[in-house]
Structure 1
Amino acid sequence: MASLATHFTASLLLLPLGGRRLLSSSSLYLHNPSHYRSKPWYLLHPKWKNLDFYTLLIALPILSFSHLFLFLASPGHPPTPRFAFLQQSAVVFLFWVLLILILCSQNLDPNAGIPDTLLFVFSGIAFLIDYSMNGKGVVGLGGVVYGLLGGVTVVCAACCFYLSIRPSAFFAEFMLSLAILLKGSWVLQVGLSLYTDAFAFEGCGKISGAMTMGQVDVRCDLEEDRLRGVALMNLVFIGHAAAVLTLSFVLFGLLCRYRSMRCGEASGPLLAGIESENMLMHPIPEFEID
Structure 2
Amino acid sequence: MGSLATHLSTFLFLFPIGLRRLLCSSSLYLQNPSHFRSKPWFLSHHKWKNVDLYALLVALPIASFSDIFLFLSIPGDPTYRFSFIKQSAVILLFWALLILIILRESVDTPLINESFLFLLAGISFVVDYWMSESGFTGVSSIVYELLGGLTLVCACSCLYLSIWPAAFLAEFFLGSGITFKGTWMLQAGLSLYTDVFVLKGCGKMSVLPGQDKADVKCDLKEDSLRGIALMNLLFIGHAIGVLVIVFGSFCLLSSNQNLRYGEASGRLLAELESDPVLRPPLPELEMD
**Pairwise same-fold verdict (TM > 0.5):** yes
Q: Distance in 1 between matches of 2:149 and 2:181?
A: 9
In structure 1, the partner of 2:106 is: 107
Question: When the two structures are aligned, how many residues end up with a matched partner?
Answer: 279
Paired letter, 2:105: Q
Residue deviations 1:240-268, cap 9 Å, x none?
0010011100110111111243133134x
Unaligned stretches of 5+ residues in structure 1: 282-290
Paired letter, 1:201: L
Equivalent residue for 1:133, pick from 116, 125, 131 = 131
Unaligned stretches of 5+ residues in structure 2: 279-288
Paired letter, 2:212: G
Matched, 1:96 2:98: no
Contact 2:80–2:212, Cα closer than 8 Å, also in 1: no
In structure 2, the partner of 1:276 is: 273
Q: Distance in 2 between matches of 1:274 and 1:68?
A: 43
Contact 2:140–2:215, Cα closer than 8 Å, also in 1: yes
Paired letter, 1:221: D
Q: Distance in 1 between matches of 2:274 and 2:111?
A: 17
Contact 1:80–1:209, Cα closer than 8 Å, also in 2: no
Matched, 1:48 2:45: no
Please give the TM-score of this superposition, normalised by the length of structure 1.
Answer: 0.91
Q: Distance in 2 between matches of 1:219 and 1:81?
A: 16
Contact 1:80–1:216, Cα closer than 8 Å, also in 2: no
Contact 1:27–1:255, Cα closer than 8 Å, also in 2: yes
Q: Distance in 1 between matches of 2:27 and 2:169?
A: 14
Please report how far the alpha carbon of residue 74 of structure 1 lies from its aligned counterpart in structure 2 after TM superposition: 2.0
Give the alignment of 1:167-186 within 5 angstroms: 167-186=165-184
Change (3 A) 1:2 1:213: closer
Contact 2:207–2:213, Cα closer than 8 Å, also in 1: no
Query: Residue 66 of structure 1: SS of its match in structure 2?
Result: helix
Identity of aligned residues (%): 55
Q: Distance in 2 between matches of 1:225 and 1:276?
A: 61
Q: Distance in 2 between matches of 1:197 and 1:25?
A: 39
RMSD: 1.9
Residue deviations 1:202-258, cap 9 Å, x none?
111111134433112211111111111111100000000010011100110111111
Q: Distance in 2 between matches of 1:265 and 1:197?
A: 43
Larger radius of gyration: 2
